[in-house]
Amino acid sequence: MSDADAPALLSDDEVRALDAHWRAANYLAVGQIYLLSNPLLTEPLRPEHVKPRLLGHWGTSPGLNLVHTHLNRVIQARDLDAICVWGPGHGGPAVVANSWLEGSYTETYPDITRDAEGMGKLFKQFSFPGGVPSHVAPETPGSIHEGGELGYALSHAYGAAFDNPDLVVACVIGDGEAETGPLAASWHGNKFLDPVNDGAVLPILHLNGYKIANPTVLARLAEGELDDLLRGYGYDPLHVTGDDPLQVHQAMAAAMDTALDRIAAFQHAARDKGATERPRWPMIVLRTPKGWTGPATVDGLPVEGTWRAHQVPLPEVRTNPAHLRQLEEWLQSYRPQELFDTGGHPREQVLSAVPGGTRRLGSNPHTNGGLLLRELPMPDLDRFAVPVDKPGATLHEPTRVLGQFLEQIMVNTAERRDFRLVGPDETASNRLQAVYDATGKAWQARTLPVDEHLDPHGRVMEILSEHTCQGWLEGYLLTGRHGLFSCYEAFVHIVDSMVNQHIKWLRTTRQLSWRRPIASLNYLLTSHVWRQDHNGFSHQDPGFIDHILNKSPEAVRVYLPPDANTLLSTADHVLRSKDYVNVIVAGKQPCFDWLDMDGARAHCARGAGIWAWAGTEDGTREPDVVLACAGDVPTLEILAAAQLLRRHLPQLSVRVVNVVDLARLLPKDEHPHGMPDPEYDALFTHDKPVIFAYHGYPWLIHRLAYRRTNHSELHVRGYKEIGTTTTPFDMVVRNDLDRYRLVMDVIDRVPGLAVSAAPVRQMMQDARQRHHDWIRVQGTDLPEVADWAWQR
């Protein structure tokens, strides 16, 4: 079934103008893939006009050009505030072509003028060393989405639409991308889109039928099955099908008008008439040939409409005269002389439906979110600080304390609506539920009387899909807003690859002066490796930190606040920051309060420092040993070890160092937060044993510190991938991170203690044995551990 047979909507002139624009964009896309010079074909095409390395992808381009052409029309006709997320891979040539046609490209890159010379540069730079990528990318004006790794277009689109009530976010989804898990899940974004406070998302599923080498699943479904699927996802599909351009233009225009009329009607009903039923939002299914208008056959094999059109349809243009002639015919088939004047400027007809100013898709400020970003109205931290008269005397659940701070941010942004909290069904499990006093959980599906905190206008986003959470937040941040993603530590690995791409985006945009800084992507990782009492081995993985620290140092930060006030200070810092990916790992279980608010601020500002109150050094010389820690559980064990040492080996001079900002351990030239060597040496000494209790995989600390003076004396304890369902203390014992083991490490490493401290070492062995005996019978931690408290 196709709606393409509807009566003609456009006049012949309108169709001709749209077609001219489409042809111009197609011409420019082919030119980018092939031409090194002779951009207007002012002379017969010769091999030396063609790039020596043919890179890029033609297949998706004509479809994207069609969508862009028709979005132009409706934006202009309706004065629409619209952006488009271009999902298909390798769509760069198309979107760049359109951006150049509308003038956005030249305004962004003045060197690429809208004339023959600029066209020549535009062609040459594509997939050329130092030029622009074949994907819609950070370099592409009007883009908030890289079409490189597939799967995230639709969640980005929803993220962009949230809290942008006047915005329409079109989103082209390739039928290749539609096979991915993240994309398949993200259709359900419509159950979370508020017709009152959010904008609209218009998905355009482009069925060109093929991926790199295979047909696509959705393009080959039985009759009606695809409609069932899309209706099951909650949409009302409008079909545009064909390979006759003039007919498709009419059908596409009609579908766009129908979709936008329905969107307007749903928004009117919700905003002005109090309708509360979830709308069945429209979407468009565009079924046109892959590589449409390209070579029908090459070397006797079908190309247009097949997977062979995916990349470079004519691969041997420089060496095969038949290919060269075919390329020239292909380019001439667009009749460039009708489209561009002799100076290479697009003719008036081509531009007749192009909108102006910031209505252009390549110039809409929502796609350069930093332009719209406002500083978050941050509450006064002291209001939420827990009082700490002395270290280790009281307990708080750090994330619960943070929840109150986040609640106030929600209150402060109630009108502005530019802050959201996302998480996979874990906001309460992660003990942030105070936010529900300020706002509810977004929910547009059915509700029952027993439900709690569901709110059609809520700004807490929960769906059991880390991919969707991440995609929503990325789309929200990229369009100039703020947010926080709370997640179980182990399962944030689910978005490893997504965060890679976001960091790559940030790294690239940092080098583009026209891209304004956006709010950082902030993770709160809790329910962490050491406290999986309920869940055991499958929920234990601290490796996201390692993953993040492999990435561009200018864009990544990792924090391990050891208590409630340091968590508050860290959260305050990251929520004010821009253009980073910040990872905070913090506990939700009751945790001793070590620092008061001022102390926490000062400690977090340094990122790593001596806790003099916990050590025994007298300041006259380097200590005998440094006990270092990073993370809440390691900090607890280090302090317990320090207390044991003070009691049993009082003559030992012990320094305790806590590290909040992990990158401080890196050399200064490897990370902006890296410590200069003298500062590192002053903390960790030149040659004394350093026993470092670390939250994650111990070798990460070595990887960060291997260049340091005292690296040979650095001994790290951490998670060794030994896990099970057990008690908190048993977990640290199994991984040799427990206080008793740490004391034994000190005795084993500090010269001269082997004999004198042998009785103490035996005492520690005995304590570990007591633990072993106790836990197997009782199933709980030893009372001496469970009831432990810091004493000075």
Write out the binding residues for a second copy, residues 41-70 only, by CB under 8 A: 51-53, 55-57
- Residue with smaller CB distance to a second copy, 227 or 748: 227
CB atoms near residue 425 (< 10 Å):
12
Handedness of CA 378, 382, 388, 394 (dihedral sign): negative
658 DSSP β-pair partners: 609, 629
Residues in the chain: 792
User: Does residue number 467 form part of the binding site for a second copy (CB under 8 A)?
Assistant: yes
- Residue with smaller CB distance to a second copy, 209 or 392: 209
**Separation between Cα atoms, residue 119 and residue 108, nearest integer Å:** 15
Q: Which member of 244, 341, 380, 496 binds a second copy (CB under 8 A)? A: 496
CB distance 661 to 650 below 8 Å? no
CB distance 473 to 139 below 8 Å? no
Q: Which member of 322, 464, 512, 612 binds a second copy (CB under 8 A)? A: 464
Least separation in angstroms between CB 576 and a second copy: 26
Scanning 98-106, 158-166, 224-232, 739-747 for contacts with a second copy by CB under 8 A, the matching segment is: 224-232
Sites for a second copy among residues 151-190 (CB under 8 A): 151, 176-177, 179-186, 188
**Separation between Cα atoms, residue 43 and residue 40, nearest integer Å:** 8
Scanning 194-202, 245-253, 427-435, 619-627 for contacts with a second copy by CB under 8 A, the matching segment is: 427-435
User: Does residue number 297 form part of the binding site for a second copy (CB under 8 A)?
Assistant: no
User: Does residue number 709 form part of the binding site for a second copy (CB under 8 A)?
Assistant: no
Scanning 240-248, 261-269, 351-359, 537-545 for contacts with a second copy by CB under 8 A, the matching segment is: 537-545
Scanning 111-119, 227-235, 334-342, 613-621 for contacts with a second copy by CB under 8 A, the matching segment is: 227-235
Sites for a second copy among residues 431-450 (CB under 8 A): 441, 443, 445-448, 450
CB distance 238 to 255 below 8 Å? yes
Q: Which member of 212, 605, 754, 789 binds a second copy (CB under 8 A)? A: 212
Least separation in angstroms between CB 193 and a second copy: 13
- Residue with smaller CB distance to a second copy, 277 or 329: 277
User: Does residue number 528 form part of the binding site for a second copy (CB under 8 A)?
Assistant: no
User: Does residue number 288 form part of the binding site for a second copy (CB under 8 A)?
Assistant: no
User: Does residue number 127 form part of the binding site for a second copy (CB under 8 A)?
Assistant: yes
**Separation between Cα atoms, residue 404 and residue 406, nearest integer Å:** 5
User: Does residue number 287 form part of the binding site for a second copy (CB under 8 A)?
Assistant: no
Q: Which member of 612, 706, 783, 791 binds a second copy (CB under 8 A)? A: 706
Least separation in angstroms between CB 315 and a second copy: 12
Least separation in angstroms between CB 656 and a second copy: 24
- Alpha helices in 174-280, H assignment, sequence order: 181-186, 225-232, 245-272
- Residue with smaller CB distance to a second copy, 464 or 605: 464
Q: Which member of 319, 724, 756, 791 binds a second copy (CB under 8 A)? A: 724
User: Does residue number 512 form part of the binding site for a second copy (CB under 8 A)?
Assistant: no
Name the nearest CA neighbour of 508 among 551, 472, 561.
Answer: 551
- Secondary structure (H, E, C), 716-737: EECCCCCCCCCCHHHHHHHCCC
Least separation in angstroms between CB 606 and a second copy: 24
Scanning 129-137, 200-208, 398-406, 655-663 for contacts with a second copy by CB under 8 A, the matching segment is: 129-137
DSSP, collapsed to helix, strand or coil, labels residue 86 as strand
Least separation in angstroms between CB 365 and a second copy: 24
User: Does residue number 323 form part of the binding site for a second copy (CB under 8 A)?
Assistant: no
What distances in angstroms separate CA 34 from CA 312, 329, 588, one per listed residue? Answer: 9, 13, 57
Give the H/E segment covering residue 476. helix 466-478
Least separation in angstroms between CB 73 and a second copy: 31
Burial class of residue 78 (count of CB atoms within 10 Å of its CB; 0-12, 13-18, 19+): middle
- Residue with smaller CB distance to a second copy, 278 or 360: 278
Name the nearest CA neighbour of 443 among 188, 659, 633.
Answer: 188
- Residue with smaller CB distance to a second copy, 456 or 623: 456
- Alpha helices in 300-381, H assignment, sequence order: 321-333, 336-339, 348-351
Q: Which member of 211, 323, 420, 739 binds a second copy (CB under 8 A)? A: 211
User: Does residue number 790 form part of the binding site for a second copy (CB under 8 A)?
Assistant: no
- Quick note: the x/- pattern for a second copy over 349-378, rule CB under 8 A, is ------------------------------
User: Does residue number 738 form part of the binding site for a second copy (CB under 8 A)?
Assistant: no
Least separation in angstroms between CB 372 and a second copy: 25
- Residue with smaller CB distance to a second copy, 22 or 187: 187
**Separation between Cα atoms, residue 125 and residue 555, nearest integer Å:** 27
Cα within 13 Å of Cα(696), Cβ side? 26
Scanning 335-343, 421-429, 685-693, 756-764 for contacts with a second copy by CB under 8 A, the matching segment is: 421-429
Sites for a second copy among residues 620-649 (CB under 8 A): none
Count residues binding a second copy (CB under 8 A). Answer: 124
Q: Phi then psi for 417, rounded to 5 degrees?
A: 50, 60
CB distance 524 to 549 below 8 Å? no
Give the H/E segment covering residue 764. helix 758-778
Least separation in angstroms between CB 753 and a second copy: 23
Name the nearest CA neighbour of 492 among 457, 522, 450, 534.
Answer: 522
Least separation in angstroms between CB 526 and a second copy: 14
Two structure tokens written together for 546: 């390692």
User: Does residue number 590 form part of the binding site for a second copy (CB under 8 A)?
Assistant: no
Q: Which member of 217, 512, 754, 758 binds a second copy (CB under 8 A)? A: 217
Least separation in angstroms between CB 210 and a second copy: 9
Placement of tokens 């597939």 in the chain = 150
- Alpha helices in 413-449, H assignment, sequence order: none
Least separation in angstroms between CB 497 and a second copy: 4
**Separation between Cα atoms, residue 749 and residue 691, nearest integer Å:** 9
- Residue with smaller CB distance to a second copy, 90 or 249: 90
Residue type, 676: P
Sites for a second copy among residues 244-283 (CB under 8 A): 278
> Which residues are CB-contacts of 653 (< 8 A; sequence separation ≥ 6)?
615, 616, 617, 618, 621, 623, 624, 625
Least separation in angstroms between CB 302 and a second copy: 5
Quickly list DSSP for 673-707: TPBPHHHHHHHH-SSS-EEEEESS-THHHHHHHTT
- Residue with smaller CB distance to a second copy, 428 or 657: 428
User: Does residue number 129 form part of the binding site for a second copy (CB under 8 A)?
Assistant: yes
Q: Which member of 37, 276, 319, 538 binds a second copy (CB under 8 A)? A: 538
> Which residues are CB-contacts of 622 (< 8 A; sequence separation ≥ 6)?
685, 686, 688
Residue type, 490: A
Burial class of residue 244 (count of CB atoms within 10 Å of its CB; 0-12, 13-18, 19+): exposed
User: Does residue number 226 form part of the binding site for a second copy (CB under 8 A)?
Assistant: yes
- Residue with smaller CB distance to a second copy, 337 or 780: 780
CB distance 479 to 366 below 8 Å? yes
Scanning 206-214, 327-335, 339-347, 684-692 for contacts with a second copy by CB under 8 A, the matching segment is: 206-214
Radius of gyration of the chain (CA): 30
Placement of tokens 């993220």 in the chain = 159
